[in-house]
Structure 1
Amino acid sequence: MNRYHTLLYYCYTTIENAEQFAADHLKFCKSLGLVGRIIVAEEGLNGTVSGTVDACKTYMESIHSDPRFAATEFKIDEVEEPSFIKMHCRYKSEIVHSGLRDPNIIDPKKKTGIHLEPKDFMEMKDRDDVVVLDVRSNYEHSLGKFKNAVTLDIENFRDFPAKINELAQYKDKKILTYCTGGIKCEKASALLLHEGFQEVYQLHGGIIKYGKEAGGKDFEGKCYVFDNRVAVDVNSVNPVVISRCYNCEKITAKMINCANPECNEHFTQCDDCGWQRDGCCSDSCKEHPRKRPYDGTGYYVKVPQQVNLNKKGRTDFLNDLKETGNLQLS
């Protein structure tokens, strides 16, 4: 039995004094021994946290006890070890960066696409009058996507609004949007409605919930996640690997960061090319003087350079070293 859980969740709601809330919430999470990454904004919460089963249970109960977050839905994964190294809770202008901050145009609390439960999404996705739209970034859908889904050439979700014109050809279709956990679809579907698309839907709970409740049928490849696991399996019905090595085109599901910290490209690379290229995407990166040692994982913990640390700072830094065993400064 796994001793840890990883929770994925979001909630669009109004948070007054969001910056102070973020500071207080960080202390609360640390008091439970949780690790993870949470974004707080006036528009709500977006988080992935990991910890013991009891700590995660307490956290969920606390979130649900607050009327602002009572409707929050948690996607729960059982994991063998915590999915993060540290706990971060940061205040930002949006809980998912889209550049769409005018509530008169986009407000997920008021109007979004129709939420489809996984079984309903599965029943609709192959109809002739339906287009399945992936609203995630290139590195995400290159690793895995729904069969026959329309994908967009975007590096970040904030590039999505600029791609609306490319989707105009589908205005007479039913648009089924999907993303990892549902949060991007809230704004993507709202924007599509604002731009005149008539029938817009979104996969409730995203790929993760679809995997749990519909067996992940017809999701090809792995699902990228924003924690140490990097990618997770979602399809237990008809799984297939679709991603290819950036260097040799061999089929592989392994995704890494380039060992050159000044590049840090996120890409798929097979084990053979990984060892041959020291975890680098190119020959120039392989020869870079700051290239990090490659250990076969392609995962590097980032820790900011700290100057004139006080006693507490030195203690925190040493704890990080103990926690990771092989920290890379970048």
Structure 2
Amino acid sequence: MSHAAPYVNIAAYKFISFDDTQAQRPRYQDICARLGLKGTILLTPEGINMFLSGTQAAIGEYLDWLRSDARFADIEVKYSYSREQSHKRMLVKLKQEIITMRMPLIKPEEGRAPSVDAQTLKRWLDAGVDDAGRPVVMLDTRNDYEVDVGTFHNTVDYRLQKFTEFPEVIAAHKQDFAGKTVVSFCTGGIRCEKAAIHMQNIGMDHVYQLEGGILKYFEEVGGAHYDGDCFVFDYRTALNPRLEPTETVQCFACRAVVTPREQLSPDYVLGQSCPHCALK
């Protein structure tokens, strides 16, 4: 896995019953400090979520350590590379949910929603139908400002401002998906997994999650059927389908995403304001 850029950035999560988060937190803090890793790890009763950046050797040692815990032996990891660490500090947090939906905690032991891998999804989108001949509908479960940076062609976008809005909006539009195959997707797989499980729970048939999210899709098949870039929650702001940082930035003042074209506006002052601030 050698690469010209010196830093390896990983994104990984797993839904699993994790009842000793308090006891485990110091162990995670210690190994991340020892290896010089930067990023965020969330330890929750429903599992783990992490975005970490470090040297190839440090990331490799961390993953060996993580996978020595049987609960995380099979955790899937998404990789990208950069010239500097993608995060500036290291945080290990205890939370109630991996991603907040304010619904009953997911219990993967009771079954996950079916997933579709990147190659299969590309084949379905090439054909416009799944293997059973049903029309395929892409459903973006991310927040509106993330969607605006890039998304799949003809995706359903509910302009969510936070993920807690998802259960109500999908219930109101449930009938729109009758007779169709729905593929929920997000950046790295977490929100779309929760969304797909919830859609199954409310009686929607033929629901899939995109395994590994947009980042895994980019890694495996590039930008086919996708417009734009993918927003990420670190200093890079967005990655293109080659998983390279783009010129897109996030405004320090209002947190809006500012495209290269918008950065030419007189309202854009680095670290102070942007055209979106002027509209607020």
Match of residue 221 from structure 1: 228
**Distance in 1 (alpha carbons) for counterparts of 2:163 and 2:247:** 22
The one-letter amino acid of 2:153's match is: K
The one-letter amino acid of 2:213's match is: G
Q: CA deviation at 1:214?
A: 0.9
Higher deviation after alignment, 152-161 or 190-199:
152-161
Distance 1:108 1:134, change over 3 A: farther
Higher deviation after alignment, 113-122 or 11-20:
11-20
- 2:130 paired with 1:139: no
Distance 1:235 1:167, change over 3 A: farther
- 2:102 paired with 1:68: no
> Which has the bigger relative contact order, CA under 8 A and spacing at least 6?
2
Match of residue 203 from structure 1: 210
**Distance in 2 (alpha carbons) for counterparts of 1:207 and 1:171:** 25
Match of residue 120 from structure 1: 120
CA contact (8 A) 2:17 2:107 kept: no
**Distance in 2 (alpha carbons) for counterparts of 1:221 and 1:118:** 17
- The share of aligned pairs that are identical, in percent, is 30
Match of residue 268 from structure 1: 258
CA contact (8 A) 1:143 1:253 kept: no
Once the two structures are superposed, what CA deviation does each residue of 1:146-205 show, in whole Å capped at 9, x if it has no partner? 011111121111211111112431132111111111111111000100111111111111
CA contact (8 A) 1:7 1:49 kept: yes
The one-letter amino acid of 2:239's match is: V
CA contact (8 A) 1:107 1:187 kept: no
CA contact (8 A) 1:112 1:187 kept: no
**Distance in 2 (alpha carbons) for counterparts of 1:276 and 1:204:** 40
CA contact (8 A) 1:43 1:94 kept: yes
Match of residue 78 from structure 1: 81
**Distance in 2 (alpha carbons) for counterparts of 1:27 and 1:61:** 15
**Distance in 1 (alpha carbons) for counterparts of 2:19 and 2:267:** 52
- 2:146 paired with 1:155: no
Hey, which bits of structure 1, 4+ residues long, moved more than 4 A? none
Once the two structures are superposed, what CA deviation does each residue of 1:236-269 show, in whole Å capped at 9, x if it has no partner? 9xxxxxxxxxxxxxxx97242253xxxx332335
Match of residue 186 from structure 2: 179
Unaligned stretches of 5+ in structure 2?
Answer: none
**Distance in 2 (alpha carbons) for counterparts of 1:86 and 1:98:** 26
Among candidates 157, 173, 176, match of residue 166 of structure 1:
173
Match of residue 107 from structure 1: 107
Distance 1:265 1:81, change over 3 A: closer
Equivalences, count: 262
Distance 1:109 1:255, change over 3 A: farther
**Distance in 2 (alpha carbons) for counterparts of 1:79 and 1:282:** 30
The one-letter amino acid of 1:272's match is: L
Distance 1:135 1:109, change over 3 A: farther
- 2:248 paired with 1:254: yes
Q: CA deviation at 1:277?
A: 4.0
- 2:93 paired with 1:93: no
Among candidates 278, 282, 285, match of residue 277 of structure 2:
282
CA contact (8 A) 1:180 1:208 kept: yes
- 2:36 paired with 1:18: no
Equivalent position SS for 1:82: coil
The CA RMSD over aligned residues, in Å, is 2.0
Larger radius of gyration: 1
**Distance in 2 (alpha carbons) for counterparts of 1:283 and 1:209:** 36
